[in-house]
Amino acid sequence: MSNGRDKILSRAVKEIEDGMCVNLGIGMPTLIADMIPADVNVMLQSENGLLGIGSYPDADDVDPDLINAGKETVTAKSGASFFDSAESFAMIRGGHIDLAILGGMEVSESGDLANWMIPGKMIKGMGGAMDLVQGAKKIVVIMDHVNKHGESKVKKNCTLPLTGEAVVHILITDMAVFEFTEQGMKLIELQDGVTLEELRNATEATFIVPEQLQ
Amino acid sequence: MSNGRDKILSRAVKEIEDGMCVNLGIGMPTLIADMIPADVNVMLQSENGLLGIGSYPDADDVDPDLINAGKETVTAKSGASFFDSAESFAMIRGGHIDLAILGGMEVSESGDLANWMIPGKMIKGMGGAMDLVQGAKKIVVIMDHVNKHGESKVKKNCTLPLTGEAVVHILITDMAVFEFTEQGMKLIELQDGVTLEELRNATEATFIVPEQLQ
Amino acid sequence: MRKVITSLEEVVKQIQDGSSIVVGGFGLCGIPEHLIMKLQEQGTKDLTIYSNNCGVDEWGLGLLLQNKQIKKMVASYVGENKLFEKQFLNGELEVELVPQGTLAERLRAGGAGIPAFYTSTGVGTEVATGKEHKEFNGKTFIMEEGIVADYAFVKAWKADPFGNLVYRKTARNFNPVVATAGKITIAEVEELVGIGEIEPDEIHTPGVYVQHVFAGKDYEKRIERLTTSKKA
Amino acid sequence: MRKVITSLEEVVKQIQDGSSIVVGGFGLCGIPEHLIMKLQEQGTKDLTIYSNNCGVDEWGLGLLLQNKQIKKMVASYVGENKLFEKQFLNGELEVELVPQGTLAERLRAGGAGIPAFYTSTGVGTEVATGKEHKEFNGKTFIMEEGIVADYAFVKAWKADPFGNLVYRKTARNFNPVVATAGKITIAEVEELVGIGEIEPDEIHTPGVYVQHVFAGKDYEKRIERLTTSKKA
């Protein structure tokens, strides 16, 4: 699975363009930060009130007053700003964040996302995910294509409670990359070593296959 | 009329208690600032983004970046803060300002206030007056009791466009002081040298006269 | 992130006739002098302007009135401007008067992705006419809608190249909310400092809201009512 | 203006069983440690708490859970707390989960006298159930209501005797909006400075929102996820 994760992350980082303000979700998306090329200048936003997340601190520089949304100690890069939670979500809800990359549990063919709750499991809460999927200009979801039982997480309809309806723009899995268009969910790339047939077998959702990938 | 104005201002300043945050309207109310006793510690709010208005500056200290809501150059006292207009009206609308003292054109017996517009005259706009009358904890209106034609400005119903409906708590004129209660408009003081009969003759509104003033 | 521009020309010339612009400032304090003058010079017409005031006859947004560039003005107080009255009475100028706090909140809401909110300001007055009324806890409120404009003109004191802004004293006023409410926000500032030179805890407007930064020279900062202490 | 208190006792003892309290902080960062501990010590029960998180099992708001003082919790994320789950499943604890941005905005709205606003956050999800839906420009939004609580617990870095507050780094988080949303707001701070010692342009929370100021000692500032750079 580590190989799959690398594929996902390597592809996800390509969504980040020079000059963007980007929110990376907690968990796997956070790992993308370290992979951003040095010549791509971005400002990473943390919904607890920081625009311009820096690297993790040296042990000597740890500051309990400086954490990211995953509650990890971080640093602030040059040009960073701090602000309160209302301002932070004004940025997000108001469409000022260019891109959010979030983890997913299920994505449907109409771009619905479920990533906050599994009924019957411990309640945790949605945190800022519902705000991000509505507010950021572009929503990229990254997740494994199938669950540990081999079942497709790319669904006709989500079975888990939704985080947002028709909110995903790009879905990146370890098997493929999809774009959500007015015509429907559309395959835009196959990951290395994956055939279209393998993808079809592993995918519950119906998707459009452009000519050059057929 | 200058004598009347002095009576109004002298009475109005008594509404200001130690520890209050107070907004003084443009025009006559602004004059109250200089009359606040030195041992009454208040913070004066200016809706353009200042809590803690100081005195007018010396000629050498004039700063075009530091004005009050009447666009006069002012200073900031020790402990003052600057903030943006949304924050300023969050304070006002949210009920965090203890007292607003505003000028009036007409006040009705149900506590309606008209103070922003005379139909047919030049349009100016309501500025922050409509927000203040809804938001501040206590609204004191100061005005001459009658207009230059000798007609009562204390009305059964306002004839001018309203600033707010049933918003006035205390009305101070050059003839009397009224309180607006659930029972109606109630006389609480006669200004020096004014008889109840004179007041009745000069007042269109119906008001309650408590026993001790009869 | 090439936000710093050395001339306003290149940006202002993209503003089309019929555009909507939110403009910071209170009276003549904290107004984007250079942006207004450049827009006057360019002569862009049929503008819808949202700003607390409309300048005075010869300065600030009054310059655009003079030039008959404004089609509609949304403001809370326009009493300082004789041209304003004349154009309004002639039918050359549409006017929407908005209570000052409602105007500030509508700008903040627009910038924060909030399409509408409820306020008691204006209930029972002309301002409430035609607006949705709703009760909360036995009190009546009216619905007011957020404002998003094509452009935002902001004046700040200092900026860094990312567009982080700091304002000075009451020149802050509407500028921070205006900065959030433009699809394209242009900030003119008195001083451009290096990245990292503004303390992150002291930034008033994070650079995410700002698309272009211009360091203006020779600010006039006209004073509307010079008032000084009367010394004995 | 006697806002400075030298003991939390006198103020916290006025908090009655059944009160509602908004509490600042994000995770364990910027939480009002001393106020929470004093409330735990006092044992006030049946509280409704609004806060982004509910601490961890042995710290922060988790202390009040431990003591079974919370009747209802309104939060956006409570995944760090095992006691929370247990009490919820037992039916001892009512829970309302609110999206983080909606929670922040509801607190700001409550403090700003705005009874309700519209947001697209939560549309099409469980969060929208039972809420008013409305369309603006062809998009659907839901109505969310402002929050005002009996008390607000705030943690700041510095205060002056008027209650002007400055926060430090991401310890700011919910604290400024929480400060506005309490009928009585109590701020605990690391340092109390003299009046006028905070630059007026750098104040984050104007003192008008704050009723009591307390300088706390020996802040623990526990770290939830210590993460450091991996040096070669």
Q: Is residue A30 part of a domain?
A: yes
Which residues of B are identified as catalytic?
A: 47
Q: Choose, out of D140, D201, D202, D203, the residue to mutate when testing the contact with C (most C CBs < 10 Å).
A: D201
Subunits adjacent to chain A (3 or more Cβ pairs under 8 Å):
C, D
Tell me how close the Cα of D104 comes to any Cα of chain C, in angstroms.
12
Which burial class, exposed, middle or buried, applies to B2 when counting CB atoms under 10 A from its CB (0-12, 13-18, 19+)?
A: exposed
Q: Is residue B15 part of a domain?
A: yes
Q: Choose, out of C4, C107, C108, C162, the residue to mutate when testing the contact with A (most A CBs < 10 Å).
A: C162
Residue-wise pLDDT tens digits, C82-127: 889 889 888 999 999 999 999 999 999 999 999 999 999 999 999 9
Residues 6+ positions from B211 with CB-CB distance below 8 Å: none
Residue-wise pLDDT tens digits, A8-19: 999 999 999 999
| Total H helices, total E strands in chain C | 6, 12
**pLDDT the model gives residue B3:** 86
Query: In chain B, which residue's Cα lies nearest the Cα of C221?
Result: B64
Which burial class, exposed, middle or buried, applies to B163 when counting CB atoms under 10 A from its CB (0-12, 13-18, 19+)?
A: buried
Which among A96, C50, C109, C140 has a CA at the least distance from the CA of D112? Answer: C109
ipTM of predicted assembly, 2 dp = 0.97
Each as own residue / partner, the long-range contacts of residues D85-94 (CB below 8 Å, 24 or more positions apart, any chain) are: D85/A122, D85/A123, D88/A123, D92/D68, D93/D65
Q: How far is the C-alpha of B128 from the C-alpha of A2, rounded, in Å?
A: 60
* Position A61 pLDDT exceeds 50: yes
* Position A23 pLDDT exceeds 50: yes
Q: Do C85 and B122 touch (CB under 8 A)?
A: yes
Q: Do D225 and A73 touch (CB under 8 A)?
A: yes
In which domain, by residue range, is B116 found?
Answer: 3-202
**pLDDT the model gives residue C232:** 43
Query: In chain B, which residue's Cα lies nearest the Cα of C231?
Result: B58
B/A touch flag: 3 or more CB pairs below 8 Å: no
Mean pLDDT lowest among A143-147, B96-100, D14-18, D83-87: D83-87
Flag whether residue C118 sits within 8 Å of chain D, measured between CB atoms: yes
Flag whether residue D99 sits within 8 Å of chain C, measured between CB atoms: no
- What are the chain B neighbours of D114 within 8 Å (beta carbons)? 93
pTM of the shown model: 0.97
CB nearest to D227's CB, from A56, A86, A163: A56
Residue-wise pLDDT tens digits, D215-228: 999 999 999 999 99
To which residue do tokens 């989960």 refer?
D97
CB nearest to C201's CB, from D113, D114, D169: D169
CATH architecture group of domain D4-116+147-215: 3-Layer(aba) Sandwich (3.40)
Q: How far is the C-alpha of C103 from the C-alpha of B127, rounded, in Å?
A: 10
CB nearest to A43's CB, from C180, C196, C208: C208
Q: Do C200 and A21 touch (CB under 8 A)?
A: no
Percentage, residues of chain D above pLDDT 70: 99
> How far, rounded to the nearest angstrom, does the alpha carbon of residue B111 sit from its chain's CA centroid?
13
Into how many domains does chain B fold? 1
Q: Is residue B209 part of a domain?
A: no
pLDDT category at A1 given cuts 50, 70, 90 is very low
pLDDT category at D18 given cuts 50, 70, 90 is very high
CB nearest to C172's CB, from B49, B125, B128: B49
Q: What is the DSSP string of C25-84?
A: -BTTBT--HHHHHHHHHHT--SEEEE-S---BTTBTTHHHHHTT-EEEEEES--TT-HHH
Q: Do B164 and C123 touch (CB under 8 A)?
A: yes
CB nearest to A127's CB, from D77, D170, D222: D77
Query: In chain B, which residue's Cα lies nearest the Cα of D163?
Result: B79
Q: Do D27 and A71 touch (CB under 8 A)?
A: yes
**Structural tokens at position B208:** 């309650």
How many Cβ atoms sit within 10 Å of the Cβ of residue C92? 12
pLDDT category at C1 given cuts 50, 70, 90 is low
Residues 6+ positions from C82 with CB-CB distance below 8 Å: C57
**Domains of chain D, residue spans:** 4-116+147-215
CB nearest to D164's CB, from B79, B93, B95: B79
Three-state SS at C14: coil
Q: Is B95 left (phi over 0), alpha (psi -120 to 50) or beta?
A: left
Each as own residue / partner, the long-range contacts of residues B204-210 (CB below 8 Å, 24 or more positions apart, any chain) are: B204/B151, B204/B152, B204/B154, B204/B155, B204/B156, B205/B107, B205/B108, B205/B109, B205/B152, B205/B154, B205/B155, B205/B156, B206/B109, B206/B156, B207/B109, B207/B178, B208/B181, B208/B183, B208/B184, B210/B186
How many Cβ atoms sit within 10 Å of the Cβ of residue C228? 15
Q: In what order do the strands lie in the sheet with D133-136?
A: C133-136, C139-145, C116-119, D116-119, D139-145, D133-136
**pLDDT the model gives residue B1:** 44
Q: Do D76 and A126 touch (CB under 8 A)?
A: yes
- What are the chain C neighbours of A83 within 8 Å (beta carbons)? 203, 206
Subunits adjacent to chain C (3 or more Cβ pairs under 8 Å):
A, B, D
pLDDT category at C231 given cuts 50, 70, 90 is low
Residues 6+ positions from A163 with CB-CB distance below 8 Å: A113, A114, A115, A116, A126, A129, A130, A133, D125
**pLDDT the model gives residue A121:** 82
**Which DSSP category does D207 fall into?**
G
- What are the chain A neighbours of D97 within 8 Å (beta carbons)? 123, 125-126
Residue-wise pLDDT tens digits, B7-17: 999 999 999 99
Subunits adjacent to chain B (3 or more Cβ pairs under 8 Å):
C, D
**pLDDT the model gives residue A54:** 96
Q: Do D208 and B82 touch (CB under 8 A)?
A: no
| Total H helices, total E strands in chain B | 4, 12
Which residue ranges of chain B lie beneath pLDDT 70?
Answer: 1-2
Q: What is the CATH number of the domain that holds B20?
A: 3.40.1080.10
